[in-house]
Amino acid sequence: MEPLKYKVIKTIAQYHRYAGLLEKLVMLNKKSTAERDVMELLQVLIEKYDRDHNTFTEADPIESLRFLMKDHKMKSVDLATALGVSTSLVSDILHRRRGLSKENIRKLAEQFSVSQELFNRPYALAAPAKDSAR
């Protein structure tokens, strides 16, 4: 019997290696069935590690997003392109004027190779500005 290519994640180095591989696979324009299978397996392994190590239990979704953008050297315009949304929507999200939609949460999790749970938790939105024309 040949050894398994991918195993349950036991170290943070292995976690980062798998996350990097998943990110590369996600960026491919056309994926073979085998590549889609590997992506699915890596997502399961990464999500299991996240659950087991409680990495996101108290993380604020917007602060986490800002951290991931900085870590990936992404600007708002890059994130808007990755999500397929306007830069003004990204700005509203980052400034807490608008919440994350389910679709945006799914795309963010895929983009950064993290569990959707990181972004799918309550957080406070900024109070709307008062209308000064009144």
Residue 113 covered by a domain? yes
Distance CA 124, CA 109 (A): 20
> How high is the pLDDT of residue 60?
87
| Average pLDDT value for the chain | 88
Q: Token pair of 91, please?
A: 């700005």
> How high is the pLDDT of residue 71?
86
Residue 70 covered by a domain? yes
Distance CA 76, CA 104 (A): 14
Asked whether the whole model's pTM tops 0.85, one would answer no
Percentage, residues of the chain above pLDDT 90: 54
Average the pLDDT over each of 27-41, 51-65, 90-104 and give the range with the smallest value. 51-65
Does 104 lie in the same domain as 47? no
Domain limits for position 16: 1-55
Residue 131 covered by a domain? no
Q: Token pair of 52, please?
A: 């087991």
Q: How confident is the model at residue 134 (pLDDT cuts 50, 70, 90)?
A: very low
Task: Reply yes or no on whether the pLDDT at 118 is more than 70.
Answer: yes
Residue 1 covered by a domain? yes
Does 48 lie in the same domain as 61? no
Q: What is the pLDDT of residues 52-90, one digit of tens each?
A: 876 555 678 999 999 999 988 999 999 999 999 999 999
Does 46 lie in the same domain as 75? no
Cα angle value 15/16/22 (rounded, 5°): 90
Residue 133 covered by a domain? no
Total domain count, the chain: 2
Query: 102-112 and 76-83 are packed helices; what angle lies between their axes, rounded to 10 degrees?
Result: 110
